Amino acid sequence: MPNDSSSNGAQPSNRCAIYIRTSTAKQAESGKASLPAQEASARAYAAERTPPLEVVRVYTEPGYSGTKYNRPTMDQVRRDAHAGLFDWLIIDFGDRFTRGGIAHYGRFLSEFDEAGVRVYLVYERLDLSDPQQRMMGAFIAHQAEEDNRKRAERRRRTYEDYATQGHYVCGKRPPYGFRFPPDERRPDGRLKKGRLIADPVTGPVMQRLFRALAAGATLASLKAELEREHIPTPMGKTLWDVAVISKLLRNPIYWGEASVKLKGVTYRYPPGVVEPLIDRETALVVQARLSQNRRYSPRTLNTRLYTVLAGGRGRCAFCGHALSPHHENANRRAGSPPYITYRCGFATKHYNDCPAPRVRADLADQLVWDTLRDLLLSPDKLAALAEQQAQAELRDDPGSEVQRLKRLLSDTTRKRDNLYAAVAEASNKDVRAGLLTQLELAETSLTTYRTELAALELHLTAYEARRQTLANVTAWATRYRALFLLHEPTDPRGREVIRAVLRALNVTALVGKNTDGVTTAHLTVEVAGPLPYWYLSFGDLDAEALATTQAALTDPDVVAAFAALTDRLQVQRESHLSSLSLKTRRLRQRLTA
């Protein structure tokens, strides 16, 4: 009869816990490895020890594979072991402990050793607190992992033979809408499960779903209809989900294209194994509808890719806050693609405090681009805009204002010098105090005039910079004239060009609607400061877009301008790459020095 003596002479307590596990629910009910059989074997061992072990807890885990390290009940066992609720853990078979190999085996034992808990395997009669017996337990864990791998390989080969011979490879139940032929049975009376035929109850439901969606119904309406008629789901529930309906309608088994994938190899069933429930033409219509739903779904549609005013370029005409693009679903009910609208970001965040209406993004983008394109292709309008912005900042005539400040500065300087001389010659104390007060006022006035003159000179510098930038932008617009004429916000490449133009000119558009409901847009273009040359190019558009546009042009002057621009961009790119290479070599020299 076993006793509590161990190789290290430790005398642990007699509190023990029992852990029992099965991989499937069916194994838990009957057989030599059932849950009752495992518990009885573990209790018998606890009772035959000297002194007997007191069973304080029984941990039951049906339906969990031993290949998993994180199992709910085993996790609880480890937590209770660290809490000191028991000192022994009794397990009937070694493969009930783990099938994860030596790696999982070692991790489990490390945790139980840390908690001061001894593990005992009843069938193998191994006390895993003993070093020699622990080595035998490691071999058993490795063998359990190998047995599991070989079992999976045998199952895969069996399924491959079934598939190549034209038999249906299935799980526990047939797919929704099908059933196995009730008259095809094995010699022992079990169903053969080699073919699928239409189920008289669920088959018409699937046919109805396909035909309804092909006729224009939505997934939401199909869900409501199924629930209203109390038709159960494939799992027997009462509430349907549109994701479940969509997954069923995407399964090619319903229109006769059934296949099974085993170890990366797809086996297509021959005709006659699966009876189609729907014709191929209807299935293609349904797949097109589902693909359209996925394409325009709010979860997958990046609205910024389909608009040009996102990112703060578009502003609300009522409150000035940034507009945000939103996906509209209303139009999808009619079977046509949805559209995108601009909404006021302030109204969205603060529950419609702003009265701004929604604006169709395609209409607003087209209006903004038409207005900006007309401005860029008209040098007179562009010059007038730059002059208007410069005068708005300078207000008065800059030349006369500078002369006035310089005259005041000269007069005040002369007055200050005279006051210094008068203070030096004054002998009366009261007179000197009055002169010092006037001198302080003169110094304050000089500081103010100098500050105003410096600020005005900065404005004059910006004014001249605007005129220089105007020349740059005019030449830039002339070079890219063909791109502006050929591209529209309706195509992806056109949207890239428009976004580059908006970014280069720092365009802000106030978008709204007038009293008649017509979309309006007021543009603010900041033609200020010398633009770097990389702002005057379109990145990856320069080579492909220029070549495509050049082939479509008939104006010789524009063609020549595009050829010169292509050469210039190539020179700039090579210069940029050589500069990067030089910087890289210098950095390497510093690191190795």
Does residue 586 form part of some domain?
no
Instruction: Give strand pairing partners of 191.
Output: 185
Whether residue 356 is found in the same domain as residue 400: no
Does residue 576 form part of some domain?
no
Instruction: Give strand pairing partners of 525.
Output: 507
Whether residue 553 is found in the same domain as residue 473: yes
Does residue 161 form part of some domain?
no
Whether residue 463 is found in the same domain as residue 408: yes
| Helices 101-115, 72-82: crossing angle, 10 deg rounding | 30
Whether residue 99 is found in the same domain as residue 201: no
Q: What is the pLDDT of residue 502?
A: 80
Q: Would you report the helix, strand and coil content of the chain in percent, each value rounded to 5?
A: 55, 15, 30
Does residue 288 form part of some domain?
yes
Whether residue 484 is found in the same domain as residue 349: no
Q: What is the pLDDT along the chain (593 residues), one digit of tens a residue?
A: 455 544 444 445 789 999 999 888 777 776 667 888 889 999 999 998 888 899 999 999 988 888 888 899 999 999 999 999 999 999 998 888 888 888 889 999 999 999 999 999 998 899 998 888 989 988 998 888 898 888 888 877 887 777 777 777 766 688 899 988 888 888 888 888 778 889 999 999 999 999 999 988 888 889 999 999 999 999 888 899 988 999 999 998 898 887 777 766 777 777 788 888 999 899 999 998 888 777 666 666 677 777 888 878 888 888 888 888 887 764 444 445 567 888 887 765 555 567 777 888 888 888 888 888 887 777 677 667 656 655 555 555 566 677 777 888 888 888 888 877 877 777 777 777 887 888 788 888 888 878 887 777 776 776 666 666 666 666 666 666 666 777 788 887 778 878 877 877 778 888 888 877 888 888 776 654 444 333 344 444 444 444 544 454 445 555 565 556 556 555 655 665 565 555 556 655 655 55
Whether residue 282 is found in the same domain as residue 385: no
CATH of the domain at 185: 3.90.1750.20
Among 375, 407, 428, the domain boundary falls at 375
Q: What is the rounded distance in angstroms from the CA atom of residue 539 to the CA atom of residue 496?
A: 10
Does residue 579 form part of some domain?
no
CATH of the domain at 126: 3.40.50.1390
> How far is Cα of residue 583 from the mean position of the Cα atoms in its chain?
35
* CA angle (474 as vertex; 473, 479 as ends), nearest 5: 95
Does residue 163 form part of some domain?
no
Instruction: With CA atoms as reference, report the closest residue to 142 among 99, 109, 91.
Output: 99
Query: How far does the chain reach from its first CA to its final CA, in angstroms?
Result: 76
Whether residue 27 is found in the same domain as residue 142: yes
Cβ count within 10 A of residue 47: 10
Does residue 570 form part of some domain?
no
> How far is Cα of residue 221 from the mean position of the Cα atoms in its chain?
29
Does residue 338 form part of some domain?
yes
Among 100, 121, 155, the domain boundary falls at 155
Contacts of 493 (CB under 8 A, 6+ apart): 487, 541, 545
Residues 42, 89: contact at Cβ < 8 Å?
no
Whether residue 451 is found in the same domain as residue 433: yes
- Token reading at 467: 């005129």
Residues 24, 63: contact at Cβ < 8 Å?
yes
Burial 161-187 (b: 16+ CB within 10 A, else e): ebbeeebbbbeeebbbbbbbeeeeeee
Q: What is the rounded distance in angstroms from the CA atom of residue 510 to the CA atom of residue 368?
A: 10
Whether residue 371 is found in the same domain as residue 384: no
Dihedral, CA atoms, 330, 332, 336, 342, nearest 10 degrees? Answer: 50
Whether residue 320 is found in the same domain as residue 336: yes
Whether residue 415 is found in the same domain as residue 537: yes
Number of domains within the chain: 4
Inter-CA distances, 292 with 249, 332, 379, 556, Å: 14, 10, 44, 44
Contacts of 368 (CB under 8 A, 6+ apart): 308, 309, 314, 507, 509, 511, 521, 523
- Token reading at 441: 């006022």
Domain extent for 547 = 379-563
Among 263, 295, 327, the domain boundary falls at 295
Whether residue 100 is found in the same domain as residue 244: no
